Structure 1
Amino acid sequence: MTTFPKWGRLPTPVSHSAKLDSSDYDSVVVVASDINDVKKLSEPLFSVLQKLASVDSALDSNGAVTYVDLPAKRMVYAPTGKVDRDYDDVRRFGEAAEKGIKRAVSSGSYKPLLVVLPCPKFKNATLVSILGAFQGLYVPLQYREAVPEKATKCNELGIYGTDSDRTNKLIALACALESGRFIARDIGGGDPERMAPPRVAEYVQKAFQGSAVTVEIVSDRKVFEKEYPLFAAVDRAAHVVERHRGQLIFLKYEGEGPITKTIMPVGKGITYDTGGADIKAGGVMAGMSRDKCGSAAVAGFFQVLASLRPKGIKAIGIMAVARNSVGEDCYVSDEVITSRSGLRIRIGNTDAEGRMVMADPLCKMREMAVHEINPHLMTIATLTGHACLAVGNYTAIMDNGPSGQADFARKIQAAGLELGDCIEISTLRRDDYDFIRVGVADGEDILQCNNAPSSRTPRGHQFPGAFLAETSGISKHGLSSDKPIKYSHIDIAGAAGDLPNNPTGAPILALASYFLEDYVKV
């Protein structure tokens, strides 16, 4: 039996079984791309599906629930559909497993056994299917807290596998990865009050208590104003309300042995985005409690580190958690604010608060990075509507020169695809750096944003990456510098998950698949 951290409720316990006829389970959920594959697993189950297929031509697309002559009594057939087309990927298995598990639960199952039939095309089909099942069994934090008896959707999830050692390793790995997504869903999905900044800090401290990850909270307004003035500007209106006061949450992990790489992500954690003085009007404010999914992903990735305990890796993360409120003390367009790096920033739009809360923490990371071994800085954020238009419900990634020279974007794209966490590559160009310098007045260095929505601005998800690189000082550490520093901007606006669906936890699986490659293998 594998369990999740004791601070939280287990989405579902998992166990291994090599027997379809085990009396421990009340349903068998079969994930397959073709009913003919079921014949290799069990002739009786195949016979049942054959009979169903003879009267239901939609079986291969819709699946079915049927009686079987096993102690479980119930079989849920969860088809992936075709997987041999150019555009098919391993998500077919995760989606089928999620749908199948949900169907099993709705049919009255409390102890399903998940059976994933091998697919030569996708080596991680079983792992991704387990993760899909976990996704289907997740219960939101506030519901777990309000109705404890509904904190789990089933009592036990079994994973079928004839090689017990391999199956148990798969289960342990899936639980480690899911524990990260579990935290990210809790933080990202909490409503504006349950996950107001101080309560995010409280949750994170509890989550990592006694783990290999250390937590440090900065919440002093004077520290913000002196060291993180751009963050302080966004926090200004909210700070007058004690329960909404901003928090900078520092996370640190250091693995055993000589350090070979240092991972340094900064996450946008806007617990609610009103748009500030440039208020979101016309009903578009709804859903803005999800604007903290970047910080949620940073916390989730550190939970994966805490679970897998990789050697030779150091990680320093900052969750920039604040509420973009509107009120008599809110920051406004036309203000000129001097950033931590010393640049004078003219505010163009208060609804561009995400880059504001991350820029100074990123500058802090840059200052630390020059003393670290093989550092890679990142910003992770639900930053722009333009990213949603440009890449749909995928993650967009942009590399600076040193990161591009290391081919990071392409490599993490490939690594993410292995686990169904898909990424699209964008490019930072000179136009993006020109954009933030056009129209500034004498005595000003950088324009924070134009006053049009990003979705109506050409290169609306790229130029914010240039703003972050310039304002943090990372642009001084390009390919021609004496100290090049890798930096990647990751916009998850389209991938994070919108209400009423649960957050996805993107891009945690991609980060783990790339940076923890040796540990994400079975």
Structure 2
Amino acid sequence: MSQLPYEILPHIVPMKTVKSLNDSDYDGMVLVSHTLPSHLELGSLKAEVEKAIKIDKSVETDGCIREVNFPAQRLIYSPTGPINRDYDDARSYSEAAAKGIKRALKAGVTSPLLILPFERKFVHADLVTLLGALEALYVPIQFREDVPEKNSKIKQLGVWGPDPSAVNTIISLALALEIGRSVARDIGGGDPERMSPPRVEEYVTNIFKNNPHIKLQVIKDVEVFKKEYPLHNGRILMLEYEGEGPIDCTLMLVGKGVTYDTGGADIKAGGVMAGMSRDKCGAAAVAGFLKVVSELKPKRIKVIGAMAMVRNSVGEECYVSDEIIASRSKVRVRVGNTDAEGRMAMADLLCQMKEKVVSGEINPHIMTLATLTGHACLTVGTGYSIVMDNGPARENGQSKLLQEAGSILGDPFEISTIRREDFNFHKDKGEGVDVLQCNNMPSSRTPRGHQGPAAFLILSSGLDKHGLDSSVPIKYSHLDIAASAGDYPDEPTASPILALYAAYLEGRH
């Protein structure tokens, strides 16, 4: 890999704890709140908002801008609106924070002072608020590189709360999480050329270079692919972290990294190819999560991440329907539709993770992360990831753990179940063939269109030999993030990094 003329860095917003609302370094205050604050220091701000509500009731839900007697001069009030804890979650705070920051930018604020909520409906509302603000301040990688003088939307972000020590802690954690999310957004949001497989390799290599906590292996030799990863051909990036202390958990992640999906020989037609540069958000989340891990340095956990990078193109070397390919696990797979390339790219890596588990990893849990199916979007709607457990993971409560963790930080999951019909669907009817990769209809028109691919991954990797009745049961969960990763041209969300943090890292650092 040639030396770059510049250093690749994730997007970082300059932040600091502000001890006084009279700090003169800021030109706008953003107040996010569920109810009007009763804290003594915010009394005059509350009074200004109450004046606004007297003449406009919509301020209670839509917010407002008011002139205030502080050095910042402007108050941007961004309420969450009513919160029903039966149905709402922490996203109420992140969405209000993002809305408030965007309104501040529109008003010309260059150094916003974010006032964290402390009359909270949810336990991590302050952290979620700050993360929402940071998400609104993200600048896409290609804009940062092409127009470096605009690599930041603001000069600095101040953060105020009644306890400066607690604010310091929140900023430190939010910074680690946001650096990881920025890595995921960079990879996931980069266009098909900026984040082609070789350039993803370049980016990841530079992000983790000289990092003593992360081991990086790049696999790109064609002969290695033919021998060890016959269902995939492109780049594989293997990342590994091992924390201090006796390991009690091994998290093993395989991410789909299709840098552009034309559909292959079964080409996408009718204008549905646009936006397919986002088909790499699963692998992007793996890289981002490992970046979070490298920042927080959690103890007693081992994390292995595999990024399956490939471009699904049309050409003389593309595979076609009816091909029969023996996978790494020696399962004979018949290609039914080349537009189902994501499961192919991940299957051999999933098999490799299975082999590592059999070799003796401690308390392992394998996951695949992928923007895999349109069916997932139809099933749960925009903004939700889906998690599906095999038997051992279900018995261990993994789906429930991830769902509850995601809810805490506003990175929500819905739970689906893999059934016998999903396995029967992928059993090939032809002689001498084990598994059918896919039918020739879109997932959105296929019954159980998001559960079936999970069954395929289990069958093609050999994980079906490691269920509840096996002498070596292996926990495996498939995460379909097609509905949560973010639709083009909006920036990627970096889901499910926050949920993974809350489920597996919180309390370890």
Find 1:402's aligned residue among 372, 389, 392: 392
C-alpha separation between the residues in 2 aligned to 1:150 and 1:12?
13
Q: Is the 8 A contact 2:370 2:479 kept in 1?
A: yes
SS in 2 for 1:248: strand
Match of 2:28 in 1: 27
What is the Cα deviation at residue 42 of structure 1?
A: 2.0
Match of 1:260 in 2: 248
RMSD of aligned alpha carbons: 1.2
What is the Cα deviation at residue 84 of structure 1?
A: 3.1
Q: Is the 8 A contact 1:346 1:440 kept in 2?
A: no
Find 2:461's aligned residue among 459, 469, 472: 472
Long gaps (5+) in structure 1: 1-5, 233-245
Find 1:415's aligned residue among 394, 405, 411: 405
Match of 2:96 in 1: 96
Whether 1:506 and 2:507 are equivalent positions in the alignment is no
C-alpha separation between the residues in 2 aligned to 1:296 and 1:441?
37
Match of 2:357 in 1: 369
Match of 1:176 in 2: 176
Q: Is the 8 A contact 1:38 1:45 kept in 2?
A: no
Match of 2:18 in 1: 17
What is the Cα deviation at residue 61 of structure 1?
A: 1.8
SS in 2 for 1:229: coil
What is the Cα deviation at residue 107 of structure 1?
A: 1.1
Whether 1:337 and 2:307 are equivalent positions in the alignment is no
1:34-433 superposed matches below 5 A: 34-35=35-36, 37=37, 40-211=40-211, 212-232=213-233, 246-370=234-358, 371-393=360-382, 394-433=384-423
Match of 1:238 in 2: none
C-alpha separation between the residues in 1 aligned to 2:122 and 2:248?
30
What is the Cα deviation at residue 65 of structure 1?
A: 1.5
1:351-410 Cα distance to aligned partner (Å, 9 max, x none): 000000000011111111112111111100000000001111210000001100100001
Q: Is the 8 A contact 1:118 1:126 kept in 2?
A: yes
User: Given residue 260 of structure 1, which amino acid in structure 2 is its aligned partner?
Assistant: D
Percent identity reads 56
SS in 2 for 1:139: coil
User: Given residue 288 of structure 1, which amino acid in structure 2 is its aligned partner?
Assistant: M
Match of 2:470 in 1: 481
C-alpha separation between the residues in 1 aligned to 2:49 and 2:240?
51
User: Given residue 488 of structure 1, which amino acid in structure 2 is its aligned partner?
Assistant: S
C-alpha separation between the residues in 2 aligned to 1:203 and 1:216?
14
User: Given residue 84 of structure 1, which amino acid in structure 2 is its aligned partner?
Assistant: N
User: Given residue 504 of structure 1, which amino acid in structure 2 is its aligned partner?
Assistant: T
SS in 2 for 1:83: coil
User: Given residue 395 of structure 1, which amino acid in structure 2 is its aligned partner?
Assistant: S
SS in 2 for 1:230: coil
SS in 2 for 1:29: strand
Q: Is the 8 A contact 1:137 1:152 kept in 2?
A: yes
Go from structure 1 to structure 2 and tell me whether the alpha carbon gap of 1:129 and 1:321 turns closer, same or farther (over 3 Å shift): same
What is the Cα deviation at residue 47 of structure 1?
A: 1.7
Structure 1 window deviating more from structure 2 (122-131 vs 208-217): it is 208-217
C-alpha separation between the residues in 2 aligned to 1:258 and 1:11?
33
C-alpha separation between the residues in 1 aligned to 2:262 and 2:38?
52
Go from structure 1 to structure 2 and tell me whether the alpha carbon gap of 1:358 and 1:265 turns closer, same or farther (over 3 Å shift): same
User: Given residue 325 of structure 1, which amino acid in structure 2 is its aligned partner?
Assistant: S
C-alpha separation between the residues in 2 aligned to 1:157 and 1:436?
52
C-alpha separation between the residues in 2 aligned to 1:224 and 1:109?
52
1:87-108 Cα distance to aligned partner (Å, 9 max, x none): 1111100000011011111211
SS in 2 for 1:21: coil
User: Given residue 270 of structure 2, which amino acid in structure 1 is its aligned partner?
Assistant: G
C-alpha separation between the residues in 1 aligned to 2:76 and 2:227?
59
User: Given residue 53 of structure 2, which amino acid in structure 1 is its aligned partner?
Assistant: A
What is the Cα deviation at residue 9 of structure 1?
A: 5.3
Whether 1:436 and 2:426 are equivalent positions in the alignment is yes
SS in 1 for 2:231: helix
User: Given residue 330 of structure 2, which amino acid in structure 1 is its aligned partner?
Assistant: G
User: Given residue 231 of structure 1, which amino acid in structure 2 is its aligned partner?
Assistant: H
What is the Cα deviation at residue 7 of structure 1?
A: 4.5
Find 2:483's aligned residue among 494, 504, 516: 494
What is the Cα deviation at residue 332 of structure 1?
A: 0.5
Q: How many residue pairs end up in the alignment? A: 500
Match of 2:3 in 1: none
What is the Cα deviation at residue 40 of structure 1?
A: 4.5
What is the Cα deviation at residue 46 of structure 1?
A: 1.6
SS in 2 for 1:76: strand
C-alpha separation between the residues in 1 aligned to 2:228 and 2:111?
53
Q: Is the 8 A contact 1:119 1:125 kept in 2?
A: no
C-alpha separation between the residues in 2 aligned to 1:501 and 1:61?
24
SS in 2 for 1:25: coil
Q: Is the 8 A contact 2:11 2:182 kept in 1?
A: no
SS in 2 for 1:323: strand
Match of 2:4 in 1: none
User: Given residue 384 of structure 1, which amino acid in structure 2 is its aligned partner?
Assistant: T
Q: Is the 8 A contact 1:16 1:167 kept in 2?
A: yes
SS in 2 for 1:501: coil
Q: Is the 8 A contact 2:320 2:335 kept in 1?
A: yes
SS in 1 for 2:169: helix
Structure 1 window deviating more from structure 2 (52-61 vs 134-143): it is 52-61
Structure 1 window deviating more from structure 2 (271-280 vs 96-105): it is 96-105
User: Given residue 134 of structure 1, which amino acid in structure 2 is its aligned partner?
Assistant: L
C-alpha separation between the residues in 2 aligned to 1:396 and 1:9?
27
1:391-438 Cα distance to aligned partner (Å, 9 max, x none): 11210000001100100001110011100000000000111111001x
Give the TM-score normalised by the residue count of structure 1: 0.94
Q: Is the 8 A contact 2:34 2:120 kept in 1?
A: no
Long gaps (5+) in structure 2: 1-6
Go from structure 1 to structure 2 and tell me whether the alpha carbon gap of 1:474 and 1:119 turns closer, same or farther (over 3 Å shift): farther
C-alpha separation between the residues in 1 aligned to 2:505 and 2:139?
27
Match of 1:243 in 2: none
